[in-house]
Amino acid sequence: MTSPSDDSHLNADMLAVWGLFNSRKNDDGTPGGSTWREGFNQVGGNGTNVYSQLTVAVPF
């Protein structure tokens, strides 16, 4: 028979990166500049569930 031990863990991770950018010149040759925003979110999780051996002694 097995039972959960205190070594079980559940972790959640989140990463968010955002940036605001500006360029005085356009790469395509059109006059003026450009302003844009970029970003991403990354979400994940992991966990462990450790079972320990439960031994029961039965006298006979």
H helix or E strand, kind and range, residue 12: strand 9-23
Residue 2 or residue 53, greater confidence = 53
Q: Considering the domain boundaries, does residue 11 fall inside one?
A: yes
Is there a domain that residue 22 lies in? yes
Q: How many domains does the chain have?
A: 1
By residue range, what is the domain housing residue 13?
Answer: 2-53
Torsion, Cα of 44, 12, 48, 1 (10° steps) = -120
pLDDT, tens only, 6-43: 677 788 899 999 999 999 998 888 889 999 999 999 99
In sequence order, the 6+-apart residues with CB closer than 8 A to the CB of 15 are 41, 42, 43
Residue 59 located in a structural domain: no
